[in-house]
Amino acid sequence: MPFSRTYDGEEPQRINKWLAQSGVCSRREAEAFIADGLVAIDGETVVDPGRKITRGQMLTLRDAACAALGAQLTAIVHKPVGVVSAHPDPGQTEAAELLTAQNLWRAKADAPTGKSLPPLGRLDRDSRGLLMLSEDGVLAKAVIGPESTLDKEYLVRVDGHIDARMLMRLRHGLVLDGKALRRATVEEIGPQRLRFVLTEGRNRQIRRMCEAVGLTVVDLLRIRIGPIELGELPEGCWRPLEPGERAALLSR
């Protein structure tokens, strides 16, 4: 699946510089793609490595370029409770240990033996659901970089009385570690069940938000990171991120 993005900068900019600043690929990778005829502007293949893109023009990376960028493994994992995202204490199971051939779900891929796949964002030991592990630095910047605006969706079961005033406080107005939280989407979806959508990832954020209004989290399930959904992926299993999914993450 090709990747396309429209340039909205005020001044013309070299393609390789723009792609690097946007977190799509490195300058060197961009230059290699141009040399291989894998970059187009408004449908016209780019042949000049110094070519600039101007406001309103659409740049497209062809399928082969997207495949090359997606060659670095990114794993989508359904993390169970009790498994830690990274840096386990003695006796604990790290999420990367789940990436075995036996746990691979509905896909063909090699288990990443000996590879270091750090998590793209936190999911604490007592929580479960969607976790991304990746060796792709460009993707990491898009998902957890300081400028990332990807939203994450959670289904949460709590103990305690829920009322309208409490929901308003959860949506906006709470402070953690001396810093105000961004606005959040929080709605009641059933008895003792809440749906959270966040655009930031403070340490144990939802649990601490709930504690601040007198609620206790009993179960926390992350079901989405941006366009990537947990879907039917069984608990404890994993699958590789597809090239089209990578492009969707980078286009946000």
SS3 annotation, 150-163: CCEEEEEEEECCCC
- The catalytic residue among 89, 124, 136, 219 is 124
The tokens for 182 are 């961004």
Phi then psi for 139, rounded to 5 degrees? -65, -40
8 A C-beta contact, residue 75 and residue 112: yes
Q: Whats the size of the chain, residue-wise?
A: 252
Beta strands, E only, 67-208: 74-79, 83-84, 93-94, 128-134, 152-159, 175-176, 179-180, 185-190, 193-198
Q: Which 8-state DSSP code applies to residue 119?
A: B
The tokens for 153 are 């969706």
d(CA 107, CA 131) in angstroms, rounded, equals 17
Is residue 163 among the annotated active site residues?
A: no
Alpha helices in the chain (DSSP H): 15-21, 27-35, 63-69, 137-144, 164-171, 205-212, 243-250
Q: What share of the chain is helix, strand, coil (3-state, %, to 5)?
A: 25, 30, 45
* R_g of the chain computed on alpha carbons: 20
Residues annotated as catalytic (active site), given as ranges: 124
